[in-house]
C-alpha cells in the first residue's frame, strides 16, 4: 500500500512538473504570438499637478488583449517577458505605440501632455536602447520633450554606470527620467545623487499610509524633503481618496496619480478628453 501511494505521488509530481514546464513554454509561445499579432494595447493614466489641478503627464501601461482569455494585466506577463527577453520586443512595441499616439494627439490639439513609459533595467542596459528610442521619435516625428521614462527603484541596484550613461544621453535630448515605486528598493543616497533623476514616484504602499498613521506622514515628509533637496519633484502613486490628496498637498507633494483621480484608460481621441474625477477639489 505504501509503495502504491509512493508511486501515486511520484506520478502526481511528474504530471505537475510536466504541466508547469509545458505551460511555461506555451505561455512564452503565446506571448511571442501576441507581440507578432498586435494583441498588446497601451492604456494611459493621467498624473496631476496638485498646485494647479492640471494633468502634467500620462503614464503608458501595457495590457494584453487575449483573443480568448480577455484582458491580461502586466502582473501576469511582465516577469515572464523579463525572464525570456521578450520584454525587449514588448518595450519597442510600447514605445512605438506611444509615439504614434502622441503624433495622433498632436494632430487633434495644440498643447501636448508628455507620456511616461515604463522601462526595465534589462531594456535600458540593452545596447540598442538609445537607438530604439530615437528611431521611434523620428518615425513619428515627435520631439523628445514629449517623452518621459520610468525606471523601478528596486532594479537600480549594483553597478549603475551603464544606466547613468544612457540616462544622460537621453536627458540631453530632453527626455525626463522618473524613479518608480520609490521606497520598495534599496537605493542609497549617493546612488540617487549620482543618477540625476527629474521626478521621484513614491510607491502606493506609502501613499496609503498618509491618511492612516502619523508615522506614514512623517515618512512621506522625509522623502519629500530629500527629493526636493536633490532637485526632484515628488509624485504620490496610488491615491485612492480625497483625504490623501489634501494631506499630500499640505506636505508639499508636487503631483498625484491614482484611481481617485483617473484609472488607466484606453486612448481617447483627444488628450483633453480624458475623464478626471476630482480636479476642482485638488486645485
Ligand atoms: P507601475 O509603473 O508602478 O504602475 C502603476 C500601477 O499601479 C499600474 O498597474 C496602475 O494601474 C496601478 N494603479 C494606479 N493607480 C492605482 C490606485 O489608485 N490603486 C491601485 N491599487 N493601483 C493603482 P498595472 O497597469 O497593472 O502595471 C503594473 C506594473 O507593470 C507597472 O507598475 C510597471 O512596473 C509594469 N508595466 C506596465 N506597463 C509596462 C511596460 O510597458 N513596460 C514595462 N517594462 N513594464 C510595464
Ligand atoms: Mg510606472
Ligand atoms: Mg509605480
Ligand atoms: Mg508599482
Question: How many A from CA of 184 to the centre of ligand 1?
Answer: 14
Q: For position 102, what pLDDT does the model report?
A: 98
Q: Check pLDDT > 60 for residue 283.
A: no
Q: Check pLDDT > 60 for residue 4.
A: no
The rounded percent of the chain whose pLDDT value lies above 90 is 73
Q: For position 209, what pLDDT does the model report?
A: 97
Residue 152 Cβ contacting ligand 1 at under 6 Å? yes
Q: For position 110, what pLDDT does the model report?
A: 87
Average pLDDT, the chain: 90
The model's confidence at residue 1, banded by pLDDT at 50, 70 and 90, is very low
Q: For position 24, what pLDDT does the model report?
A: 85
Average pLDDT over residues 45-49: 96
More confident residue, 18 or 47: 47
Stated pTM of the model: 0.91
Average pLDDT over residues 167-192: 89
> Among all chains, which residue has been given the C-alpha cell 543616497?
189
Question: How many A from CA of 201 to the centre of ligand 3?
Answer: 7
Residue 119 Cβ contacting ligand 1 at under 6 Å? yes
Instruction: Provide the ipTM.
Output: 0.97
Average pLDDT over residues 214-237: 96
Average pLDDT over residues 207-214: 98
Q: Check pLDDT > 80 for residue 281.
A: no
Q: Which ligand is nearest to the CA of 155?
A: 1
DSSP class of residue 145? Answer: G
Q: Check pLDDT > 70 for residue 193.
A: yes
Q: Which ligand is nearest to the CA of 47?
A: 1
Give the Cα separation of 108 and 61 in Å (integer). Answer: 22
DSSP secondary structure of 38-106: T-EEEEEEEEEETTT--EEEEEEEEEEEETTTEEE-GGGTHHHHHHHSTHHHHHHHHHHHHHHHHHHHH
Question: How many A from CA of 164 to the centre of ligand 1?
Answer: 24
Residues 6+ apart with CB under 8 A from 65: 39, 40, 41, 71, 72
Q: For position 269, what pLDDT does the model report?
A: 78
DSSP class of residue 265? Answer: B
Give the Cα separation of 214 and 114 in Å (integer). Answer: 34
Q: For position 246, what pLDDT does the model report?
A: 95
pLDDT tens sequence across 250-271: 999 999 999 999 999 999 878 9
Which ligand 1 atom is the nearest neighbour of the CA of 74? 30
Q: For position 23, what pLDDT does the model report?
A: 82
Average pLDDT over residues 34-58: 96
Residue 74 Cβ contacting ligand 1 at under 6 Å? yes
Distances (CA, A) of 199 to 116, 213, 280: 11, 25, 24
Amino acid at each position: 500500500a505504501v509503495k502504491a501511494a509512493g508511486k501515486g505521488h511520484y506520478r502526481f509530481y511528474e504530471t505537475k512538473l510536466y504541466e508547469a514546464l509545458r505551460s511555461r513554454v506555451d505561455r512564452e509561445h503565446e506571448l511571442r504570438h501576441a507581440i507578432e499579432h498586435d494583441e498588446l494595447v497601451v492604456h494611459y493614466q493621467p498624473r496631476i499637478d496638485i498646485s494647479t489641478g492640471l494633468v502634467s503627464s500620462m503614464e503608458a501601461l501595457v495590457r494584453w488583449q487575449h483573443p480568448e482569455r480577455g484582458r491580461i494585466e502586466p502582473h501576469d506577463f511582465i516577469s515572464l517577458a523579463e525572464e525570456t527577453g521578450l520584454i525587449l520586443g514588448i518595450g519597442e512595441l510600447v514605445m512605438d505605440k506611444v509615439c504614434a499616439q502622441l503624433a495622433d494627439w498632436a494632430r487633434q490639439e495644440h498643447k501636448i501632455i508628455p507620456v511616461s513609459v515604463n522601462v526595465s533595467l534589462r531594456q535600458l542596459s540593452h545596447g540598442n536602447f538609445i537607438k530604439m528610442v530615437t528611431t521611434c521619435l523620428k518615425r513619428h516625428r515627435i520631439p523628445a520633450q514629449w517623452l518621459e521614462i520610468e525606471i523601478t527603484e528596486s532594479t537600480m541596484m549594483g553597478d549603475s554606470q551603464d544606466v547613468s550613461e544612457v540616462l544622460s544621453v537621453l536627458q540631453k535630448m530632453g527626455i525626463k527620467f522618473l524613479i518608480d515605486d520609490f521606497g520598495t528598493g534599496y537605493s542609497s543616497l549617493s546612488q540617487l545623487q549620482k543618477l540625476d533623476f527629474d521626478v521621484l514616484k513614491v510607491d502606493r504602499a506609502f501613499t496609503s499610509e498618509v491618511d492612516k498613521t502619523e508615522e506614514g506622514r512623517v515618512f512621506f515628509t522625509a522623502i519629500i524633503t530629500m527629493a526636493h533637496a536633490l532637485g526632484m519633484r515628488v509624485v504620490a502613486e496610488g491615491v485612492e481618496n480625497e483625504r490623501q490628496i489634501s494631506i499630500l498637498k499640505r506636505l508639499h507633494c508636487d503631483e498625484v496619480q491614482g484611481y481617485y483621480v483617473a484609472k488607466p484608460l484606453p486612448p481617447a481621441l483627444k488628450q483633453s478628453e480624458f475623464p478626471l474625477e476630482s480636479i476642482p477639489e485638488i486645485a
